[in-house]
Structure 1
Amino acid sequence: MTRIRRDPRAERAAIRIAAGLRPRYDRTAIGVAKAAGGRPRRDPRTERTGQRVPGGDRPRFDLGQIARGEAPVLAESRQRPAQAAAPKIVIVEAPAFLVAVVPDAAGGRLSAHDRQVLGAARALAGREGAVALVSTGPCEGAGPAGADRHLALDEAGADPDVRAVRVAAALEELAPRHVLFPESLDGGDLARRVAVRMGANLFDNAEVVAPGGLIRPARGRRVEQRAAPGLLASVAADAIADYAGPPREARPLMVEAAPPAPRPSAIVSAERIPADPATVPLALAEFVTSAGNGLHDLDTFRRLVAALNATPGASRVLCDAGLMPRHAQVGASGTVLAATCYFALGISGAPQHLQGVAGCEHVVAVNTDLHAAMIERAGLAIVQDAQRVMPALLRLLAWDTEARDAQEAGERS
């Protein structure tokens, strides 16, 4: 089979425009050249025009799409990668044993520490076992975090003794091989109360959790203590990775535990009193709202922070200018946050500032620059002037407060 020989002169004559004395050629008319065996010619200007995003004075382009003219280019011959299939839910029908996890789950949501404990439980369960999440009240995200079973107990309020009694009774009915707690303020206290009620030893503050054994530091971290996995253990924070596999079933469990006999308690009443967000340190704050160089009305910003019940923060530019106190600075040179939500108003996102919010679970940003680093980091972004967004948020919050007060007044009447 012989290849057809190209005729460059005929191709050039076919695209010549018969106008004027000077020879001109239509480079986009490639149909004749293709018929003659030539390679299709790209038109970069047409592709660039198709990529342009309408709106705005500054030209912006969507590089994810390639606009083509009448003729195909070389990129069309490439095969597109197949879309990733939705992850399948792993189901364990008859596990050989259970590994129970008792999370803090404040507000019905798993914390970062709780997910790390579930990751440790998956290491103990392996392929034959299953992980059972035992929470007091409802809990979201149990399946994606690695739980095969979910037992939701009745809410016990703020009394730690009542919660310990209910958790111990549920664990006796489940009969798990191992039980893991987060080594936190609430989780560590609950673990010790449950250990006393069940009469079992507790291996606390474990930093390595594996079927072969548990490891924790001792004597000022100069030595390591090792032990075989027992019944009860607590896991240190930021020591074990989260579960990164496909989502699990989190099948609901129903356990009919007999109510334990009441014991005399020295606790007369228990009530959880939240800390004042205006005075809580940034490192301990759950919701932080920060102002950047894009704000000039700080009085409105302070009213918005109070209405959101958030902790105020700021970028380094405002702190250097003396407009915000130094202890409110967020970033690598200020305070590194571990908040659940971070709300950035008028902050472009310098590298040092992004290091300070790397540990935040949710980031919301308001900025006029679509390509700002903070906009790219945010899970929810508002491309608008923060000076216009703040009054709108205050109006919505005031309307919501009035509607709630009217509803409560109607219920009382």
Structure 2
Amino acid sequence: MTKTVQAARRQQHITIVSETFPPEINGVANTLRHLCQGLMQRGHRVTVVRPRQRHESKGMVPSAGHGLFSHEHVVTGLPLPGYADLRFGLARSGELRGLWQKDRPDAIYVATQGPLGVAAVSAARKLGLPVSSGFHTNFHSYSRYYGVGIFEHLLCAYGRWFHNRTSITLVPTRKMAQTTAAMGIRPTGLWSRGVDCNRFAPHKRDQALRKRWGLKENERAVIYVGRLAPEKNLCMAVACFERIRGLHPQSRFILVGDGPLRRQLAEQHPDYIFCGTQRGEDLARHYASGDLFLFPSKTDTFGNVVLEAMASGLAVIAFDDGAASEHLRHEENGMKADLREDEGFVDGALRLADQPTLLNRIRAQARLDALELDWNSQIEQFEQLVFNQTARTGYHAINKQSISLL
């Protein structure tokens, strides 16, 4: 066993810095919940630095962490423009330096690239602490969905500057590694995601819930789970469902989640079923009670919901990107379309709606494949990528400085 692997096996103290964290509901918060829980279970000490969330008042005693972390440091939080239910953090680099001088971490992982992330990277570099970052969100791609597409190049340059100040940037897929390389971000390491197949499982299918949706035994529940927001390409999901309903009038469109588009969608489509935000076992029941799962996003870096749908025994239709590019095999355990082929997305959904045998075969295979995607292996990969930076911090700091001077 190498020294670096041995180091990863010893108890380490890692600080995770993020502008979103459970109980907030989004892909980053969900990933960090599994990461923190996995690291704690493997004997590591985890400190979380995050903004104050909407439900927390100033001076409120921080939560005990529910087994997700050993300690936390809460900073000022302000609403993210366009995402009022999400926050960004404000902290001085000196504040974080003081925190880490008193209790020096072995490694720092910065999951978000907002003001809190910038302050954390600056503080870590000044203290000579190994700091890694994660490419969790395609913010530069989001700009075109919020009427500020002219800033996409600036946001891309900002992302390059931010991530290249860390020793390594973790990306969830091989395609995202290519994307970040094209942006000029390097080096990168592949750190994917897992899924809890005990929580998300086909046996949680709820016939009473399906009856409330207005469905009979052989009628189709087409389901979407995620934020109801412009960057999720929901117009594609709506167009796809309407094509399905044109051939199968008794189908129902089930939307699980909330966001800025909910009111508009509900007004335009009062016959759709809006379930709002679901958590825990309720979320698992909603997944398992569906049949076809639409994931129309072209901006997600991964899309944890794809794996949750597979684990729940759903037939996923997605574009060949993110989690689908890694885990879906067309016509075997799901259906996927080229990013430029919207009609291919619709065709895949129509085939599944029209062919019960194909649908059932894909659903069964999706569940089998999801059983191989456990979180334990991903936590181990994270350990090796992040904790191994400790021995290389000096090397990367010298080389990053040399690059910045060229």
| Fold match by TM threshold 0.5 | no
Q: Which has the higher contact order (CA 8 A, sep 6+)?
A: 2
Bigger CA radius of gyration:
1
Q: Which has the higher helix share?
A: 2
